[in-house]
């Protein structure tokens, strides 16, 4: 398969490239690195990238920004970051990409453990992750041409604990390589409308 991986330079993205690259042609993408540049907050950027790449068999998104801050300090603009980037960025990737993915191909989006296990200062992430899970389940029943869509919702990533560990006390971290198996299950499997939880 020809697989587009957006966010390929990140911790999870690198692990997914390593996993899927063993068996498939991988096209890497990101805001500032990769085979092609994609800014998920800019629809024209997504359209331009697909025009350059051509048809793919699978699209994987392992990226998305949200705001971590105390809820009492959060304003609408703080929530707007996650809504515009992680939520609508991944939704736009599907909206544009559905015309560039081959029959029977797939989309795999990224949510995360805060969709079901909230933490202090993580309200935006929990909201966005939950919305993406619902989008995946709903879009799956309407995508044409046998296209599939799933999400991977990993626990906190072990390699990121140096940066985020203080927020995730008591969580059992997941190695990025194990999280990557969820993406392989989505891309190479047959299920659709599923949130693959890797814990």
Query: How confident is the model at residue 102, as a pLDDT?
Result: 98
Three-state secondary structure call for residue 150: strand
Going by their DSSP bridges, the two strands 101-110 and 148-154 should be labelled as parallel
CB pairs under 8 A, 24+ apart, for 171-180? Answer: 171/113, 171/117, 172/199, 174/198, 174/199, 176/11, 176/12, 176/14, 176/15, 177/15, 177/18, 177/19, 179/12, 179/15, 179/152, 179/154, 179/155, 180/12, 180/15, 180/16, 180/18, 180/19, 180/20
- In order of start, what are the domains of the chain with their CATH numbers? 2-198 (3.40.50.720)
Residues in the chain: 199
Query: How confident is the model at residue 164, as a pLDDT?
Result: 87
Three-state secondary structure call for residue 111: coil
Spell out, as residue ranges, where the chain has pLDDT lower than 50: none
What does pTM read for this prediction? 0.97
Token pair 């969709």 is found at 115
């Amino acid at each position: 398969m020809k697989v587009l991986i957006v966010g390929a330079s990140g911790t999870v993205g690198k692990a997914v490239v390593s996993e899927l690259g063993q068996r498939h042609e991988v096209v890497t993408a990101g805001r500032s690195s990769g085979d092609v540049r994609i800014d998920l907050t800019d629809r024209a950027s997504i359209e331009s990238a697909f025009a350059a790449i051509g048809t793919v068999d699978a699209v994987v998104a392992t990226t998305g920004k949200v705001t971590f801050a105390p809820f009492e300090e959060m304003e609408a603009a703080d929530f707007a970051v996650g809504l515009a980037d992680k939520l609508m960025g991944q939704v736009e990737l599907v909206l544009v990409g559905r015309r560039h993915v081959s029959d029977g191909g797939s989309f795999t989006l990224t949510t995360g453990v805060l969709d079901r296990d909230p933490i202090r200062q993580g309200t935006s992430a929990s909201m966005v992750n939950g919305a993406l899970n619902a989008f995946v389940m709903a879009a799956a029943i309407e995508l044409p041409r046998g296209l599939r869509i799933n999400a991977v919702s990993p626990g906190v990533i072990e390699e990121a604990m140096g940066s985020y560990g203080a927020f995730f006390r008591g969580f059992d971290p997941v190695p990025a390589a194990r999280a990557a198996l969820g993406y392989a299950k989505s891309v190479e499997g047959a299920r659709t409308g599923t949130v693959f939880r890797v814990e």
